[in-house]
């Protein structure tokens, strides 16, 4: 299920500018909420520069850490000691040195299987949200960060897998990945990811050009189906853009 918010493509010069632009958007989004803020992070390599920035000045001092909560949109079903673990990467890069431990909400990969981890995380999200059904007027997250894989997956929502069509569950187990790393996953579903004021995709480098070309051509892939109830932003650098791309 895709929600129908507005989608905008923003181009920047290179990966450094992309991380700065993402940090600015994140800070701007926090500034619009004077209460408890919920941010959903993503894994993969794309957000690392952003995470490094958030741990350094001037960004670090601008974040009201005690009232910001950090979640993750998908997780590889491995222990937090494994270098593949998404939230552990975010924790090492900035959360553990900046955020109160009680505000960090990892997917529990100590569960017996990905489905049980998904059920447990769904309860965490529902308790934080205060309901087990989404109210379109009330977003779960202030901002959701997203990446795009070579097959057009986002979070761990792979093309043609049943998880992409899920409309009831907030989090599901994915027994097999479609691309590397081939470990089971746990992923938020489109309705849960979409319950946000802003969904921010980061795509940088020539290795994203082929998939970005397919997405801009309108191919129906998980990354194009994922939409915020608020704004959906595709933040891309020049190297990721198709050759001769003229539009904005």
Stretch that binds ligand 6PG, among 8-16, 38-46, 97-105, 120-128 (CB under 6 A): 38-46
Stretch that binds ligand 6PG, among 41-49, 113-121, 125-133, 240-248 (CB under 6 A): 41-49
Q: Using alpha carbons, select from 201, 89, 214, 206 the residue that is nearest to residue 148.
A: 201
The SS3 call for residue 227 is: coil
Among 21, 50, 74, 189, binds ligand 6PG (CB under 6 A): 74
Whole-number Å distance between alpha carbons of 63 and 128: 20
DSSP state of 231: E
Q: Examine residue 154 and tell whether it contacts ligand 6PG (CB under 6 A).
A: yes
Within residues 88-127, the interface with ligand 6PG by CB under 6 A covers none
Among 15, 149, 184, 194, binds ligand 6PG (CB under 6 A): 149
Among 19, 30, 42, 95, binds ligand 6PG (CB under 6 A): 42
Least gap, CB of 228 to ligand 6PG (angstroms): 16
- As given in the structure block, the two tokens for residue 155 are 């979070």
The nearer residue to ligand 6PG, 30 or 223, going by C-beta atoms, is: 223
Contact 218, 225 (CB under 8 A): no
Number of helices (H) and strands (E), helices first, in the chain? 9, 9
Q: Examine residue 15 and tell whether it contacts ligand 6PG (CB under 6 A).
A: no
DSSP-H helix ranges across the chain? 15-31, 48-54, 59-62, 86-90, 96-98, 114-129, 190-194, 209-216, 222-225
Q: Examine residue 79 and tell whether it contacts ligand 6PG (CB under 6 A).
A: no
Which residues in this chain contact ligand 6PG in the complex, by CB under 6 A? Answer: 42-46, 74, 76, 86, 147-149, 153-156
């Amino acid at each position: 299920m895709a929600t129908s918010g507005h989608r905008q493509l923003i181009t920047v010069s290179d990966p450094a500018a992309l991380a700065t632009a993402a940090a600015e958007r994140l800070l701007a989004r926090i500034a619009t909420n004077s209460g408890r803020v919920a941010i959903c992070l993503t894994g993969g390599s794309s957000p690392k520069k952003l995470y490094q920035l958030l741990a350094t000045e001037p960004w670090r001092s601008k974040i009201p850490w005690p009232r910001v909560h950090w979640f993750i949109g998908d997780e590889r079903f491995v222990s937090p000691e494994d270098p593949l673990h998404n939230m552990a990467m975010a924790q090492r890069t900035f959360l553990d040195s900046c955020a109160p431990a009680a505000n960090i909400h990892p997917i529990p990969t100590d569960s017996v299987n990905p489905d049980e981890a998904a059920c447990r995380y769904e309860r965490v999200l529902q308790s934080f949200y205060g309901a087990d059904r989404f109210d379109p007027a009330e977003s779960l997250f202030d901002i959701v960060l997203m990446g795009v894989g070579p097959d057009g997956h986002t979070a761990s929502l792979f093309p043609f897998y049943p998880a992409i069509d899920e409309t009831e569950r907030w989090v599901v187990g994915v027994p097999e990945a479609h691309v590397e790393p081939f470990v089971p996953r746990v992923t938020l579903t489109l309705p849960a990811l979409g319950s946000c004021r802003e969904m921010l995709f980061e795509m940088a480098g020539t290795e994203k050009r082929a998939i970005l070309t397919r997405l801009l051509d309108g191919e129906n892939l998980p990354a194009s189906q994922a939409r915020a109830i608020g704004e959906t932003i595709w933040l891309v650098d020049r190297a990721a853009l198709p050759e001769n791309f003229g539009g904005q």
